[in-house]
Amino acid sequence: MSRAERLLDLLQVLRRHRHPVSGRLLAQETGVSLRTLYRDIASLQAQGAPVEGEPGLGYVLRPGFTLPPLMFRDEEIEALVLGMRWVAGRTDGPLAAAAGDALAKIAAVLPAELRDRLDASTLMVGPAGTVPDGVDLSALRGAIRAQHKVAIRYRDAAGAGSKRVIWPVALGYFERVRVVVAWCEARDDFRHFRTDRMEALTLTGERYPRSRHALLRDWRTAQGIAPAA
């Protein structure tokens, strides 16, 4: 790997982390010695990259920094195409259309050689076998983004119906079903709701009292899931 490629790789690693990362961990992730890592950090800083931190405290890339959209390796192109194809085949109409639009925008800024690789990707997604959703997922995603409560009519696996007011914080896309992670006011705890078992959804327009990030952090803790990097 050339030095320029190594510096780009280091920037990509820094972009994946929202909090300061130790030099030792960065060296491990980029496959270089700690001494080389420190030299690379200094080179990036000298070239104007907003990398903040110092040895012993860790390093972080200041938000807002962007790289040219042309630096894609073959594996990155394949990951983009495969991911977009999965979204197009496994999600609702608006999100599937958005995946196609995003891929078209990426293709538009790629040089011809990389655009050809994008079009010629041989990674495929198998036929979908998803269960139909009972509610409008685009409305549900909007409520999650706005941090708004929603009222739902729900039928559980045993067929029992109930009405709930929930605070949706995340939407999980599995191979066959979609599952909402939410705080349930009736249970005063986190619950998971399959969207194919939702019979009605009403947008309340009422903001829930805690931030979505704090709720999601608490849910991760309750599930024993490590916090996001």
Domain span including residue 196: 137-223
pLDDT tens digits for range 77-94: 888 888 988 888 888 888
What pLDDT was estimated at residue 68?
54
Q: Are residues 189 and 158 in the same domain?
A: yes
Quick check: helix, strand or coil at residue 14? helix
CA-only gyration radius of the chain, Å? 22
Of 55-64, 66-75, 94-103, the least confident: 66-75
Q: Is the pTM of this model over 0.75?
A: no
Q: Are residues 174 and 219 in the same domain?
A: yes
Helix ranges (H only) for 60-159 are 74-90, 93-109, 112-119, 137-146
Q: Are residues 217 and 141 in the same domain?
A: yes
Query: Token pair of 209, please?
Result: 């009292």
Spatial separation of the C-alpha atoms in residues 137 and 173, rounded to whole Å: 11
Q: Are residues 109 and 144 in the same domain?
A: no
Q: Are residues 91 and 20 in the same domain?
A: no
Could you tell me if 180 and 193 are in contact, meaning their C-beta atoms sit under 8 angstroms apart? yes
Q: Are residues 34 and 98 in the same domain?
A: no
What mean pLDDT is reported for the chain? 87
pLDDT tens digits for range 143-182: 999 999 999 999 999 999 999 999 999 999 888 899 999 9
Query: Distances from the Cα of 106 to the Cαs of 13, 75, 110, in angstroms?
Result: 21, 15, 7
Apex 72 CA angle, 68 and 76, nearest 5 = 135
Spatial separation of the C-alpha atoms in residues 173 and 164, rounded to whole Å: 22
What mean pLDDT comes out for the span 24-47?
A: 91
Spatial separation of the C-alpha atoms in residues 151 and 32, rounded to whole Å: 52
Could you tell me if 60 and 52 are in contact, meaning their C-beta atoms sit under 8 angstroms apart? yes
Q: Are residues 154 and 175 in the same domain?
A: yes
What pLDDT was estimated at residue 213?
92
Spatial separation of the C-alpha atoms in residues 49 and 13, rounded to whole Å: 14
DSSP 168: E
Q: Which of 39, 61, 83 is the last residue of a domain?
A: 61
Could you tell me if 133 and 171 are in contact, meaning their C-beta atoms sit under 8 angstroms apart? no
pLDDT tens digits for range 181-193: 999 999 999 999 9
Residue 96 lies in a domain: yes
Q: Tell me which residue of 35, 25, 30 sits closest to 1, measured CA to CA.
A: 30
Residue 68 lies in a domain: no
Residue 82 lies in a domain: yes
Sign, CA torsion 141/214/175/83? positive
DSSP 21: B
Query: Token pair of 58, please?
Result: 């860790």
What pLDDT was estimated at residue 227?
64
Residue 215 lies in a domain: yes
